[in-house]
Amino acid sequence: MRRTGSALGVVFAVFALLATAPAWAASDDLDFYQTADREEVGTEDTFRLTVVVVDAPANAQVKLPESGDFSILSSSRSSQRSISLSGGGPAVIQDVTRHVLVMQATRAGRLKIPPSQITVRGKTYRTQPVELTVRAGRVGGAPSPGQAGRGGGRQPDPFSSIQSQMQQMEEAFGDMMEPDRPTIPRGDSDLFLRASLDRDNVYVGEQVTLSLYIYSRVDLSSVDAVTMPKLEGFWTEEVESPTQLSGEQRVVDGIPYRAYLLRRRAIFPVKSGTLSITPAEADITTGFLFAGHRVHRVSNALKVKVKPLPPGGPEDMPNAHVGNWRLSMDVSQTRVELGQPVTVKVSLEGVGNVKNVTPPALKGPAALKIYDPTTTDKVSPQRHRVQGRRVMEYLVMPQRTGSFTLPALEFTYFDPRARKYEVARTDPVTITVEAGAGGASSI
C-alpha cells in the first residue's frame, strides 16, 4: 500500500498556483460547445446536455437552447479553474464554465437540439446542434462513450468525465460533526467519496451541517471538479471550502485512511417532511502529477427528517426565526437639539440563519420621524455553526421639542435545544428634544 502523503507537496503547489492565477480574457478562438450524454433516448428517459465555455470573460452572455421538442427539467451552472503542467513549459490555466440541462424529449423521432449562443464583446458564437434518436417509451442504458454532438473537430474536453455542476448554497449548522460512521463501498475501497450530516432529525429552520470528504489509501494529485448535492428544500450557507488538500488519519472498519475535507455547508430546511440530498460527485487524479490516473467518484445520498415547529408560537412566524438570539437597541444620543438626527440600531445577534432573520421594526410617536433602515450582516461561523449579527440602522429626526419614547421591542424565536419558544426584549428609550440656538420649538 502506498503512503498517501508522498504527493501532497505537489498538490499544495498546484492549489496555490490556482488560487493566485490571473483571469484570462476570451480570444477570438473561443472554445464553446455542447454535448449530450447519450445518442439514443426514450420519451420517458431523461438525459443531460452540457454546454461548455472555456476562458470566457465574466460578462459573457450565454443563451441556452430552447426547443418545443424537449422539456428542460432542471439546470445548473458551475465554474472551475484547471492547471496543466507538461513538457517543462509554462503552466496552462483554463477557466471552464459548464451549464448542465436535464432534459426530456416530448416526442419520438430524429430530433435536433438547437445551438447554444454566447455573446462576447458584441460578437456572437454558436455551438453545433445536437441530434438525438428518440424512441417511444423507455430506452435507458448508459451514456455513449463519445458523447453526442461535439462539433467542429476540437480536441476532447479534458473535463468530460464531470457529470454535473457545482451548486451554491448557501447555509450553516452543527456542532458535533459526522456522528455516522462511513461505510466502504464495494469496488471503490481504496478511494471513495463520503457525504455526512452532523444530525438528520431536526426542526424546520434548524441548522444541519453537511460535510463532503475523500477517503483514500492511495496518493492524490488533485481534485479537478466537485459537484455538490442538490439541496432542494434547504437554504444554504458555505462554512468551509479548503483551497488545499489536508488529510487526517481515520480508521474505517479497521482499515486506515487519509480523509480530505472538500466542502462543508450549513443547510437550513425550509419545510417539514423527509428531505432528500442527492449524491455529490468528484473527479480525482491519483498518483503523481505527471503520471496520474483520473477516476470519477459518487458519494452516498442522504435524508433529513424535518419536524414542523410545535404549536404555541406566533402565527406565520418565519422559519428563519429558529436558533438562539439576543435583541438590542442602541441610540446614538438621548438628548438632542431640534433639527439634529438620532441614529438607532436594532440588532439581532446569535446562532441561526443570520442572513434571513428579521429584527422587529422600530416604531415611535409622530413627533419622531423614522426613516427606512439600512441592513448590515456579519456572519462568523464557529465550530461549524453559523452565528453572527444582523443590524437594522434607522435615522430618526425629531419634529418638535419635548420628551418622546421609543417603545420596547420584542422578538419571538424557537430554541431547538430547549424545544420551546423564547422572547428577546429591549427596554424602551426616551429621547429629549430641546430647542436649538434659534429658539424654535417645532419644524
As a whole number of angstroms, the distance between CA 173 and CA 240 comes to: 11
175-213 pLDDT per residue, tens? 333 445 566 665 567 889 999 999 999 999 999 999 999
Question: How high is the pLDDT of residue 81?
Answer: 61
Q: What is the mean pLDDT of residues 133-155?
A: 57
Q: What is the mean pLDDT of residues 344-358?
A: 94
370-405 pLDDT per residue, tens? 999 999 999 888 778 899 999 999 999 999 999 999
Nearest to 336 by CA among 401, 394, 395, 393: 401
Task: Indicate whether 265 pLDDT > 80.
Answer: yes
Task: Indicate whether 158 pLDDT > 50.
Answer: no
Q: Please name the amino acid found at residue 112.
A: K
404-424 pLDDT per residue, tens? 999 999 999 999 999 999 999
Nearest to 303 by CA among 384, 229, 383: 229
Nearest to 119 by CA among 70, 174, 38, 63: 63
Question: How high is the pLDDT of residue 288?
Answer: 60
pTM for this structure?
0.56
What is the CATH T-level fold of the domain 323-434, as seen in this structure? Immunoglobulin-like (2.60.40)
- Write the CATH number of the domain with boundaries 166-308: 2.60.40
Count other Cβ atoms within 10 Å, centred on residue 347.
Answer: 17
Question: How high is the pLDDT of residue 273?
Answer: 95
Confidence band for 74, pLDDT divided at 50, 70 and 90 = confident
Task: Indicate whether 234 pLDDT > 90.
Answer: yes
8-33 pLDDT per residue, tens? 444 444 444 444 333 333 344 578 89
- Write the CATH number of the domain with boundaries 1-164: 2.60.40.10
Grid cell digits, residue 233: 428544500
Q: Where in the chain is the domain with CATH 2.60.40.10?
A: 1-164
Confidence band for 107, pLDDT divided at 50, 70 and 90 = very high
Q: Where in the chain is the domain with CATH 2.60.40.740?
A: 323-434
Q: Output b/e per residue, 109-136; b: 16+ Cβ within 10 A.
A: eebebbbbbbebeeeebebeebebbbee
312: left (phi over 0), alpha (psi -120 to 50) or beta: left
Question: How high is the pLDDT of residue 16?
Answer: 44
As a whole number of angstroms, the distance between CA 43 and CA 267 comes to: 35
